[in-house]
Amino acid sequence: MRNTRALAVAGAAVAALGLSAPAAVAAVAWETPSNITVLPSVIAPGGQLTITVDGCRSGGTATSNAFSPTRLSPVGGGKGNEGDRGGAGSGTARGTAVINSNARPGPYDITVDCGGRTMTKPQAFTVIGGVRGGIGGSTTTGATPTDVAIGGGLVAAAVVGGGVFWMRRRAERRI
C-alpha cells in the first residue's frame, strides 16, 4: 500500500513538472527576438527603412552602421497571441529608420535589442548608390560656359532661320 501511494505522488509530481515545462519555455521564447524583417531590402541613402521584429513585445532598439539607433515600438494594443500572459501588443515591434546620407553602398547588418536580449541579422539590407535626379544624373556643377554658348548659338540660328523663312514666304505672296 505504501508503494502505491509513493508511486501516485511521484506520478503526480512528474505530471505537474511535464505540464509546467512548456509554459516556462514559451515564456522565455516569448521575450526573445526571433525574426527580423526589413523592407525594402535595397535602399538608397536618405531612404526610410521599416524594421519589424517578432518576439519583442515591449519594444526595443535597432542599430546599424547605416542609420542612427532607432526605437522599436510594440505593434497593436490588445493581447493578440499573448494569451493570458498580459503585456503590451502582439509580440511584434516595429520602427522606421532613415538611412544616413553618407552611407556607403553595400550590405549592412542590423542588431536588435529587446529587453536585454539581442539578435543580429547579417546583411539585412543593401544600400545602393544614390541618383542625382533632376539635374541630368551625372552633372554636379550645372551648365558650363561652353554649354551656354552652344545653347545661345542654337537659339540665334533658330531666330535667324525663322526670320529668313518668314521673309521668303512674304516675298512669294507678292508675285
- Kindly indicate the confidence band of residue 34, based on its pLDDT and cuts at 50, 70 and 90: confident
Query: Which single residue is written with the C-alpha cell 522599436?
Result: 72
User: Residue 69: is its pLDDT beyond 70?
Assistant: yes
Segment among 23-32, 121-130, 164-173 with least mean pLDDT = 23-32
Region of 115 please: left (phi>0), alpha (psi -120 to 50) or beta. left
**For residue 23, what pLDDT is reported?**
44
Q: Does this model's pTM top 0.85?
A: no
In angstroms, what CA-CA distances link 115 with 55, 58, 100? 11, 7, 26
Q: Which of 118, 112, 117, 130 is nearest to 64 (CA)?
A: 112
End-to-end CA distance of the chain: 138
DSSP structural state of residue 130 = -
Per-residue pLDDT of 85-142, as tens digits, reads 444 456 899 999 999 999 999 999 999 999 889 999 999 999 998 555 655 555 556 6
Query: Mind giving me the DSSP string for 11-76?
Result: HHHHHHHHHHHHHHHHHHHHTS--EEEEESSEE-TT-EEEEEEET-TT-EEEEETTEEEEEEEE--
| HEC letters along 70-126 | EEEEECCCCCCCCCCCCCCCCCEEEEEEECCCCCCCEEEEEEEEECCEEEEEEEEEE
DSSP structural state of residue 6 = H
Per-residue pLDDT of 146-166, as tens digits, reads 888 999 999 999 999 998 888
User: Residue 63: is its pLDDT beyond 90?
Assistant: yes
User: Residue 45: is its pLDDT beyond 70?
Assistant: yes
C-alpha cell recorded at residue 39: 523592407
